Structure 1
């Protein structure tokens, strides 16, 4: 047994040595991998810089010529203007609005200016100046997004709601989720924008929204009638309690019999019940007021929060400036040509 002990120790030392060897080899492979990646990146940078330095004259000449050509075209092409209006649709008229905006863009793309002229009630020469209609969700505060998320969670079953968080909700919302919409128009005529509002305003009208508005008005009328009836009942009860109080002025307590059981109305109880009735009446009148305000506030298919400007803003986006775009495109084309030549040369000289 004593002879086997040194053999077991030697075996354990060998296993431990093999383990350290494996770990060392793994680190060596990792080091070699990282070194090869760094070397490859460094080589790409060096070859890129070398290509730029060798061909710097050609690159500069081509980019300067492209910049000059872009500058000339910028001076020749008509200026582009843009303006924005902010609207708040009601009765789900936003669906018709978005559909009509896409329809307007389709007419512009197909150059159907006759139809566009009839829709906006403008001469064809004016509508030819329209470049594009753009619609996107209007500005929102964080509180508005949180309220939308809470309303969404209420409409979803509890099991599914557990798997939905606020960040996913905000990220996956569609354009139809917004309550406000920003409508932008680009045109080559700077003062055409106010003339487009009438045509855009007609974009909200549709049979579904009209039907929904009438249904809302009918429900409000029914609710108002019910509230008025409740107020009348409360007024009658108040008259009864006032009469009871008058009778109590002649006696300390009054006993009423209902269904064979009697109870007394003391002065404190009648005053308390009169106070409760007064609160009930105030609540009912407040509900009636809210219904009337809602009908007045939402008596149209949309509200214009901000209108188009009388004169549009001159577009200054970099991608519309040929002076910047042409040199960038020229550089990209030169890179493609250089890489294509190198690839062809490599393929021709390749030997398996």
Structure 2
């Protein structure tokens, strides 16, 4: 009887514990839902508070936006169109440094309105045509991932082993200079769409300068010396091959004479050891070096390569910042919001006790 009563008491205690647990979980969910509702209510209040000045001053804001859009549209109509064209070049013999310097020089001439010098450099007939130039820009040309990896590998090899450990590929790509590339894009801007083909000649003069001429002459001299060394090595290898061939021929003739005498006693002759295979491999290696030297000389026989010339007709530049019909209303709206915020802040500070 006592066991039955204790069992019933234990069941009642467990039911009470479960009830309290469910009640606690219920209160927790109620607080969570209340917190979420409070956040949503706060966000809604902020949204209403932000939109309230717009609604209260709707007419004024609409008039200001319409007027600013009309002003922007009028300025677009009276503004001269801007045309752009690109040229891709691969400079040799470090003429890329002179190219970067000349681009800055050309922009300085445009800023100072020295159209006579521009007309002389680009061989433009009239000053009116030179006045149509607006700006030049120089950027790194298109590069593949393999080009970047090879460039990074060459850069690491040029560093000391203790320094190269701290330079990662990401750091190299992020901090590389514009002149680290080998292909460059030259962008020209002008108010005329057909001026660009005449600009190419001015940039061609850039690549052939005093320093690049000296560097090319020095490089050609080094290549000639290397070529003479390779040719001497090739002649030495060919002479050695001829000597080995003469030895083999002489030994073959002696064997034929002795066997043809009719003697029955076998003759044993010690053969001269030669290394025809090793000599042949050495010859192939020298010829490969000569071929690579010739290919390098042919590839860099000029001071530059034009991969893509300026287009005959430039394309119209459409930048979002030049779309005044859109930009002016945005600026007007931003100014009105700033003024409203400053007035509210001034009023709050003035009335603060």
Which secondary structure does the structure 1 equivalent of 2:187 belong to? strand
Go from structure 1 to structure 2 and tell me whether the alpha carbon gap of 1:52 and 1:185 turns closer, same or farther (over 3 Å shift). same
Deviates more, 1:293-302 or 1:213-222: 293-302
Corresponding residue for residue 298 of structure 1: 300
Corresponding residue for residue 242 of structure 1: 245
Pairing partner for 2:82 from 70, 80, 83: 80
Go from structure 1 to structure 2 and tell me whether the alpha carbon gap of 1:113 and 1:236 turns closer, same or farther (over 3 Å shift). same
Query: How big is the shift at 1:252?
Result: 4.8
Q: Structure 2 length as normaliser, TM-score?
A: 0.80
- Specify every segment of 5 or more residues in structure 1 that has no aligned partner in the other structure, as ranges: 1-34, 254-262
Which secondary structure does the structure 2 equivalent of 1:106 belong to? helix
Go from structure 1 to structure 2 and tell me whether the alpha carbon gap of 1:69 and 1:219 turns closer, same or farther (over 3 Å shift). same
Query: How big is the shift at 1:98?
Result: 0.7
Q: Structure 1 length as normaliser, TM-score?
A: 0.80
Go from structure 1 to structure 2 and tell me whether the alpha carbon gap of 1:222 and 1:42 turns closer, same or farther (over 3 Å shift). farther
For residues 140 and 52 of structure 1, what CA distance do their matches in structure 2 show?
49
1:113 matched to 2:115? The reply is yes
- Specify every segment of 5 or more residues in structure 2 that has no aligned partner in the other structure, as ranges: 1-36, 257-268
Corresponding residue for residue 59 of structure 1: 61
1:91 matched to 2:79? The reply is no
For residues 230 and 264 of structure 1, what CA distance do their matches in structure 2 show?
31
CA offset digits 1:16-72 (Å, max 9, x no partner): xxxxxxxxxxxxxxxxxxx99999877654432222222222222211221122222
Query: How big is the shift at 1:330?
Result: 1.4
Query: How big is the shift at 1:302?
Result: 1.3
1:165 matched to 2:137? The reply is no
Corresponding residue for residue 223 of structure 2: 220
Rg larger for: 2
Query: How big is the shift at 1:285?
Result: 1.9
Query: How large is the RMSD of aligned CA atoms in angstroms?
Result: 2.4
Go from structure 1 to structure 2 and tell me whether the alpha carbon gap of 1:239 and 1:200 turns closer, same or farther (over 3 Å shift). same
